[in-house]
Structure 1
Amino acid sequence: MARASKLPVAVLGATGAVGQRFVQLLAAHPWFEIAVVTGSERSVGRRYGEVTRWILPEAIPAAVAGLTVQPTEQVAEVPIAFSALPTEQARALEPQWARAGVFVCSNASAFRMDPLVPLLIPEVNPEHLGIVERQQRERGWRGAIITNPNCATITLVIPLKPLHDAFGVQRLMVTTLQAVSGAGYPGVASLDILDNLIPNIADGGEEAKIESEPRKLLGRLVDGSFQDAPLGISAQVTRVPVLDGHTAAVAVAFARRPAPDEAIACLREWRAPEPVRSLPSAPPAPVVVRDEPDRPQPRRDRDLYGGMGTTVGRVRSCSLFDLRFVALSHNTIRGAAGGAILNAELLVAQGIVG
C-alpha cells in the first residue's frame, strides 16, 4: 500500500525511553511523519533536542530535534497520536485526544482492559478493531483509543496464538526474565541489578497483567463485546541485568497434546492474516524457531526483523504440562513503540484512519 503523502502524527511523552523509541522508529517511516511532540512541564516551549536526554545509539533525528515540545493537555490537529505517557497521565489525557478526533495508539496500561478498547496485536487479533465504532458511539468520541499489551505479554502471546488455534491452550505457567530498559530511564539502580536479579517488577502489577491480558488477546469479539479465552495462567516475573529483550520460559497444557515436532511445524508455518502481512512494520514471519539448544538469547536474537520479530527455542515435552518453550522479543520495539506503530498501520490499511 503506497501513500501519496505522509500522515502527520504526534508523540505524547516523547522525551522518555519509549517516547524516544517512537521518535527513532518514525523518523523514516513511509506513512507517518512526526509533526508534534509533547512532554512534561519542564520541557514545554523548548526544542526537543535540547531537553531530551537521548539514550539510543543513533543521533536524534534532525527533523524532530528542532520541534518545540508542546503540552500534552493541548490536543493537536493530527489523525494519530502515539502515547508513551505514564499510566495516570494516560488515564487523564488520552480520552481528551480521542474525544477531539485523534486515534490514540497507546503503550500505556490505563485502558488495556477497558471493555470498549481493543487490546491489539495485529498478527493475533486484528478483528478486535471491530469494537472501535461502538467505543466512539458510546463514549461520544470522534477518535478512539487502541492499546498494545504489556511488553512481556507480547513475548508470550505471539507464539501462543498459533498453538492455541491448533491445539487449544488450557493453562500455562510462565516465568519472565525482563530487561532493565523495561523500567524506563533511569530505571533500576545499578547497585540493585548488577550481579543480581530481582524476583519482582517495581510496580507490583506485572504478574497481574500477564495473567489477564492474554485472555483478552486470545478471546473473541462477539456481537460487539469481548469474550475472554478461558485460560488458566500463572506468572512469575523477574528483572535481569540485560539491556534490551524480554525472555519468557513457558510450560503449556493443551486440549490436544502436540508432539514437539508438531508444535515446531505449527509455529514455523504460521503467518499473519493477509491485511497485516504487507504493513511496513510487520515482520516477514511472526515467529522464528531456533533449533540450537542455547537459543534464544537477548543479545543475539532481540534485533530480529528490526526488533519486530519473536524468537522461540527449546521446544520440548514437559513432564508436568504438555509442552515447554522459551520465547524472546525486543521489549521497547516489538513490546512497546514498534507494536503501537504496527497497530496504527493497521488502522490506516483498514481505512479507519486516513
Structure 2
Amino acid sequence: MSESIKAGVLGATGAVGQRFIQALENHPWFEVTSLAASERSAGKTYGKAANWRLESNIPDNVRDMEVVPVDPKKVDADVVFSALPSDYAKTVEAEFAKEGFAVASNASAFRTAEDVPLVVPEVNADHLGLIDVQQDNRGWDGYIVTNPNCSTIIMVPTLKPLMQFGLEAVQVATMQAVSGAGYNGVSSMAILDNIVPYIGGEEEKMETEPLKLLGEFDGSEITFADIDISASCNRVPVMDGHTESIWAKMADKPSPEQVKEAFLNFKPDLGDLPTEPEEVIIVREEADRPQPRLDRNMGNGMSVSVGRIREGIRYTAMGHNTIRGAAGASVLNAELLHKMGKL
C-alpha cells in the first residue's frame, strides 16, 4: 500500500464530515485531497469554513485547504466519503458514481436500492459483489457503497452471531445520543431534563436495514433475512454513544452463557484493516455496563460493547454513533474495497 489513494469528503464542514476528517488524519492508505461543501463554504479555507466541534484540533493537513463545491468536476479524488443530507445525496452521489468515483456513503439515500451494497464489513462483506451488478444496471464507471443507520449498525453486529441459533424476532428500545441529530438537531430546551420518545424515520430504518444486512447474496441479488424486528427509538441527553436494550427470540433457545460465547467468538477476519477494531464485540461482565461515557471509545470508537445478557434472551448494546455508526463505518468499507482491489 505504498501509493496513497486520493480521498475527498462531501459535506466536509458538518458533524459527520468532521469525523471523516478526524478518521482520515494520518491514515496509512488514504490522503485527503479534496474537501467539498455548500456554496457558502466553497472558496474559503477549511479552517474558516468549518465550525470545528470535535475534542481534537483541526488537522494541519486540511486547515488551509480550500473548500470546493460539491461537484465531481471540482473534486480531485479517487474515493469520496459522503456526509451529505440524504435528499441532496440522492442526486449528487449518483453524479459522482457516474463520473467514475467510488462513493462510500453515510447517507440513507441509496441504502434500500436493490443494486447498492449496504455493508457492515464484519457482517456481510460478500454483499460488495453487488457493485458489479450496480455498474451493469446503471452504466456507471464508479459505484456507491453505503453503511447503515447509526442505531442499526450498533445492533446488527450483535445479531450476526445469533443467526446460528435460528434468530426469529428482535425487539429493541434505543436511547440515542444528541450528536446523532447533528449540532443543531435537538435544541437544549427540548432535550435537557428530558427524553424525546420519537426520532423521525429511525424506527423504520431499524426494522428494515438489518433484514438486508443479514440477508444472503446469490451473486445477483439479496434475499432478505426472515426476522421480525420491532423498534422504539428515543433521544436522550447524552452527547455521544447510542445505547440499546435488545430482546432476541431464537428457535434453538440458547442460554445466556451460549449467547455470551457466541459474542466472544465473533471474530471476522477482514485482513487487518487500519480502522478494524481488535474486538468487534466487547462483552462487559459488570452489572451496570456498558455505559456511553465509559465505553463509547472502545476500539477507537469502532467496537460495540454488550452486557446484561440475561434469560430471554435480553441484553444491552452500546456503540459510538458518529464513529462506528457513521464516519468510521464508511472508512472501514473503503478500506475493505481497497483490500479487494476495488479502488
* 3-state SS of 1:296 partner: coil
- Whether 1:334 aligns to 2:330 is no
Runs of 5+ unmatched residues, structure 1:
none
CA distances 1:91-126 after superposition (whole Å, capped 9, x unpaired): 010011101111100000000010000000000000
Q: 1:295 corresponds to which residue?
A: 289
Paired residues of 1:122 and 1:346 also in contact (CA < 8 A):
yes
What amino acid sits opposite 2:2 in the alignment? A
Amino acid at match of 2:292: P
1:254 to 214, 232, 250: 250
CA distance in 2, matches of 1:299, 1:185: 19
SS in 2 for 1:89: helix
Partner SS state of residue 252, structure 1? strand
1:347 and 1:96 mapped to 2: Cα distance?
A: 20
1:209 counterpart = 2:205:
yes
Q: Identify the residue that residue 307 of structure 1 maps to in structure 2.
A: 301
1:99-248 pair list within 5 angstroms: 99-164=98-163, 166-201=164-199, 204-248=200-244
CA RMSD of aligned residues (A): 0.8
The separation in 2 between residues aligned to 1:269 and 1:209, in whole angstroms, is: 28
SS of 2:123's equivalent?
A: coil
Quick one: distance in 1 between partners of 2:77 and 2:61?
17
Report what 1:28 is aligned to.
Answer: 26
1:8 corresponds to which letter in structure 2?
A: K
CA distance in 2, matches of 1:245, 1:66: 31
Q: 4+ residue runs of structure 1 moved beyond 3 angstroms?
A: none
Separation (CA, whole Å) in 2 of partners of 1:81 and 1:236: 33
Partner AA of 2:182 in structure 1? G
Size of the aligned set, in residue pairs, is 342
* Paired position in structure 1 for 2:40: 42
Residue 266 of structure 1 corresponds to which residue in structure 2?
262
- The question of whether the paired residues in 2 share the 8 Å contact of 1:19 and 1:337 is answered with yes
User: Deviation per CA, 1:52-111, whole angstroms, max 9, x where unpaired?
Assistant: 100001110111111111110244242100000000110010011101111100000000
> Is the 2:33–2:76 contact (alpha carbons within 8 Å) kept by the matching residues of 1?
no
One-letter amino acid of the structure 2 residue matched with residue 267 of structure 1? F
Per-residue deviation, 1:142: 0.7
Measured in 2, the distance between the counterparts of 1:309 and 1:286 equals: 5
Q: Is the contact made by 2:8 and 2:76 (CA closer than 8 Å) also made in structure 1? A: no
Partner of 1:61: 59
Take 1:160 and 1:200, find their aligned partners in 2: how far apart are those partners? 24
Given that 2:34 and 2:76 are in contact with CA atoms closer than 8 Å, whether structure 1 keeps it comes out as: no
AA at the equivalent of 1:173: Q
1:49 counterpart SS class: helix
Q: 1:348 aligns with which of 318, 338, 341?
A: 338
Helix, strand or coil at the partner of 1:128 = helix
TM-score of the superposed pair, with normalisation by structure 1: 0.95
1:209, 1:186 → 2: CA distance?
22
Query: Unpaired runs of 5+ in structure 2?
Result: none
Letter in 1 for 2:158: P
Residue 285 (str. 1) matches residue 255 (str. 2): no
Three-state SS of the structure 2 residue aligned to 1:123 is: helix
Amino acid at match of 2:220: G
- What SS does the corresponding residue of 2:210 show, helix, strand or coil? helix
Alpha carbons 1:277, 1:284 under 8 Å: kept: no
